[in-house]
C-alpha cells in the first residue's frame, strides 16, 4: 500500500515519486509506504489553496453552507471510526480504546466548529460607539486566508483536526502537513473531506519529511498563517520563517507540567490521576503532568502507592485486549527516551520502578512505566520534556514552595492541583503560570475550552471560540454620514483664515 498526496481536489503522486516507510512500533515492521512530498508539491498545494481562497468559492459561502459540509465530514469520520482508530493504533502504537476516543473527538470538533461558525455569523457585525454621531464604526471578521497547518505524531488525526476544522469553518483554505512518523489517519481524513464535497483546493494534504515538506510550507510567500504543534526547536524555526514576511503564526509547543498533591486529598483518586496524567498515550502528551510534587507528610506513602500501581499496568501492542501502555511511536523517539534514562543514572535521582525495556517484550519500542523520586531540581529529567512514560516525584512543605518549584522552568502549558480544600486549589491555580490548570484531575480536554500555554509553551490558543477566531482577521469599517459637513480642507464658506478649531475633525 502506497498513499498519495491530495492537491487541488485530486489524489496525486509526488512529482519526484519519493516515499517513506510507515512503521508499526509494536513490531518494528513496515506496513505501508507514505508519499513524500517536496518543495514542488508544496508549491502546487499552496497555489491551489491560494486560488481557491481568492476565488471565494469557499470563503464567500454563507457560514451555514460551510457548516453543512463540515457536518458531512464529521459523519464520514464516525462512519469509519473503528477502521481509522485501528489504523491510528498501528501507526502510532497507542492502545486501541485511546485511538477510538481520539477519532470520536475529531468528529465532534467538526460538528462543534460547524455550530460555532453559524453562531458567530448569526451575531452579525459588532457596532462600536465612537462617541461621535456622525460616524458609524463596525467590526468585520474575515477568514485569514491560506493556512499552513503543521501537526505532530502523538495525536495524528485529532491534532490535525484542531486546526483544519476551525480554519475551514472560518472560510480559510488549508494545506495540512502531518508528521512523517504518523500520517496514515490524515490520509483517511483527506478522503473523507473529498467525499464530503469541500471544493477543490480548499483542503490539501502534503505528507513527507519536515525539512523537505514542512520547511518549504512554512516559508511559502503565499501562506497567510502558520499553525504549528510540535517541539520548541522546530517551533523557533517556524516562528523565524513567519517573521521574515510578518505573517500570522500560532504555536503549541512542549510542556513539563507540574501536579501538586496536598495531603488532605483522597489517596486512591490521587494515584489514579497521577498515573493517567503521565502514562496515558504512553506519556507522549505535551501537557503530561510529568513533575509531581507531593506534600511531605504524604510523600513516602504516595510514592510507594504510585509505584505499586504502575507496576500493574498492562504493556503491549495497542490492539491487544486490556493493554494500557503501548510502544513508543518510533525508533528515534525510543532512543531519545532511553538516552534520558541512561543520563538519569548519574543525576542523583532515585529510580523507584521501570527505567528501560519491560520483561517479555524483546521486540517493539516498549518502555516500562518509569518513576523517579527525590529528583534534584537541576536534573535534566526534572527540567526537560521527555515525551515518554517517565514521571519525576519530589516532596514539598508549603504552598509557596510548591508554587515556586512548579513555576521554575521554561514551560507553561499546563498544571494540576489536588486537594479536598477547593479554596486552596483555586489559590494555587491562580499562581501557576500556565495556560491550562486542572483541579482534582489531569488531562481532560474539551473542544469548547481554549488550549495553549504561557512562556516557551506557545503563542496563541486552539479550541473553543479562541480557536475559531485564530483563523479570522479583524477589520474596522467606519462610515461617515455623507449628509454631514466636514470642512477640514475645503472652505465651506467659513473663510480662509479660520484656525484649526473651525470646522476640523475635532469640532
Enumerate the active-site residues: 252
| Cα angle for residues 353, 355, 361 (degrees, 5° grid) | 100
At 80 the three-state DSSP class reads coil
Looking at 175-293, list the stretches that DSSP marks H as alpha helix, in order from N- to C-terminal side: 184-196, 215-219, 232-244, 267-279
At 313 the three-state DSSP class reads coil
174 beta partners: 147, 203
CA distances in angstroms from 248 to 43, 226, 451, listed in the order given: 19, 6, 18
CA distances in angstroms from 130 to 134, 267, 476, 478, 504, listed in the order given: 10, 57, 12, 10, 17
Using CA atoms of 446, 440, 302, 402 in order, give the dihedral in degrees to the nearest 10: 100
**What cell does 377 get?**
531540581
**What cell does 345 get?**
543514572
292 beta partners: 259, 393
Looking at 124-220, list the stretches that DSSP marks H as alpha helix, in order from N- to C-terminal side: 156-170, 184-196, 215-219
Q: Does residue 259 contact residue 416 with C-beta atoms inside 8 Å?
A: yes
User: Can you tell me the distance from the alpha carbon of 215 to that of 235, in angstroms, rounded to the nearest whole number?
Assistant: 11
Using CA atoms of 251, 256, 257, 262 in order, give the dihedral in degrees to the nearest 10: -170
Q: Does residue 168 contact residue 145 with C-beta atoms inside 8 Å?
A: no
Residue entry with cell 502506497? 2
Helices 184-196 and 81-92, interaxial angle, to 10°?
Answer: 150
Residue entry with cell 457548516? 67
Residue 108: phi and psi, rounded to 5, are -60, -40
Number of continuous H segments (helices) and E segments (strands) in the chain: 15, 20
Give the distance, in angstroms, between the CA of residue 442 and the centroid of all CA atoms in the same chain: 17
User: Can you tell me the distance from the alpha carbon of 287 to that of 360, in angstroms, rounded to the nearest whole number?
Assistant: 30
479 contacts: CB under 8 Å, gap ≥ 6: 135, 136, 137, 138
What is the 8-class DSSP label of residue 460? S
Helix (H) or strand (E) holding 34: strand 29-35
At 149 the three-state DSSP class reads strand
Sign of the four-CA dihedral 330, 336, 340, 342: positive
Amino acid at each position: 500500500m502506497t498513499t498519495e498526496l491530495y492537491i487541488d481536489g485530486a489524489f496525486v503522486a509526488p512529482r519526484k515519486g519519493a516515499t517513506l516507510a510507515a512503521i508499526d512500533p509494536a513490531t518494528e515492521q513496515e506496513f505501508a509506504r507514505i508519499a513524500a512530498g517536496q518543495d514542488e508539491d508544496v508549491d502546487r498545494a499552496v497555489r491551489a489553496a491560494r486560488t481557491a481562497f481568492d476565488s471565494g468559492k469557499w470563503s464567500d459561502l454563507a457560514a451555514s453552507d460551510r457548516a453543512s459540509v463540515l457536518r458531512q465530514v464529521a459523519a464520514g469520520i464516525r462512519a469509519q471510526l473503528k477502521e481509522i482508530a485501528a489504523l491510528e493504533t498501528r501507526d502510532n502504537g497507542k492502545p486501541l480504546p485511546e485511538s477510538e476516543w481520539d477519532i470520536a473527538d475529531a468528529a465532534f470538533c467538526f460538528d462543534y466548529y460547524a455550530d460555532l461558525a453559524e453562531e458567530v455569523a448569526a451575531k452579525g457585525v459588532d457596532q462600536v460607539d465612537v462617541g461621535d454621531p456622525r460616524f458609524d464604526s463596525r467590526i468585520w471578521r474575515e477568514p485569514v486566508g491560506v493556512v499552513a497547518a503543521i501537526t505532530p505524531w502523538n495525536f495524528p488525526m485529532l491534532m490535525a483536526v484542531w486546526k483544519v476544522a476551525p480554519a475551514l469553518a472560518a472560510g480559510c483554505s488549508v494545506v495540512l502537513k502531518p508528521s512523517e512518523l504518523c500520517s496514515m489517519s490524515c490520509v483517511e481524513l483527506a478522503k473523507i473531506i473529498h467525499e464530503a464535497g469541500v471544493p477543490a483546493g480548499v483542503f490539501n494534504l502534503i505528507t513527507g519529511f519536515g525539512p523537505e515538506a514542512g520547511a518549504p510550507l512554512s516559508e511559502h510567500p503565499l501562506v497567510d498563517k502558520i499553525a504549528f504543534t510540535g517541539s520548541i526547536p522546530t517551533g523557533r524555526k517556524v516562528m523565524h520563517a513567519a517573521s521574515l514576511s510578518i505573517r500570522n503564526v500560532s504555536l503549541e509547543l512542549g510542556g513539563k507540567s507540574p501536579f501538586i498533591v496536598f495531603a488532605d486529598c483522597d489517596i486512591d483518586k490521587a494515584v489514579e490521576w497521577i498515573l493517567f496524567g503521565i502514562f496515558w498515550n504512553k506519556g507522549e502528551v505535551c501537557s503530561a503532568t510529568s513533575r509531581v510534587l507531593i506534600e511531605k507528610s504524604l510523600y513516602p506513602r504516595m510514592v510507594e502507592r504510585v509505584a505499586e500501581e504502575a507496576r500493574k499496568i498492562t504493556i503491549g501492542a495497542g490492539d491487544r485486549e486490556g493493554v494500557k501502555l503501548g510502544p513508543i511511536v518510533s525508533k528515534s523517539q525510543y532512543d531519545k527516551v532511553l538516552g534520558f534514562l541512561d543520563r538519569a543514572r548519574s543525576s542523583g535521582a532515585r529510580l523507584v520502578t521501570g527505567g528501560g525495556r519491560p520483561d517479555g517484550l524483546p521486540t517493539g519500542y516498549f518502555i516500562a512505566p518509569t518513576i523517579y523520586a527525590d529528583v534534584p531540581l537541576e536534573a535534566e529529567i526534572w527540567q526537560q520534556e521527555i515525551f515518554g512514560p517517565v514521571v519525576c516525584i519530589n516532596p514539598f512543605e508549603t504552598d509557596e514552595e510548591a508554587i515556586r518549584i512548579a513555576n521554575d522552568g521554561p514551560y507553561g502549558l499546563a498544571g494540576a492541583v489536588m486537594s479536598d480544600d477547593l479554596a486552596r486549589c483555586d489559590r494555587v491555580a491562580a499562581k501557576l503560570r500556565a495556560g491550562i490548570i486542572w483541579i482534582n484531575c489531569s488531562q481532560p480536554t474539551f473542544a469548547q475550552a481554549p488550549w495553549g500555554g504561557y512562556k516557551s509553551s506557545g503563542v496563541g490558543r486552539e479550541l473553543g471560540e479562541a480557536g475559531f477566531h485564530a483563523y479570522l482577521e479583524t477589520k474596522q469599517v467606519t462610515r461617515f454620514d455623507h449628509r454631514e459637513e466636514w470642512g477640514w480642507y475645503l472652505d465651506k464658506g467659513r473663510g480662509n483664515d479660520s484656525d484649526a478649531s473651525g470646522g476640523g475633525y475635532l469640532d
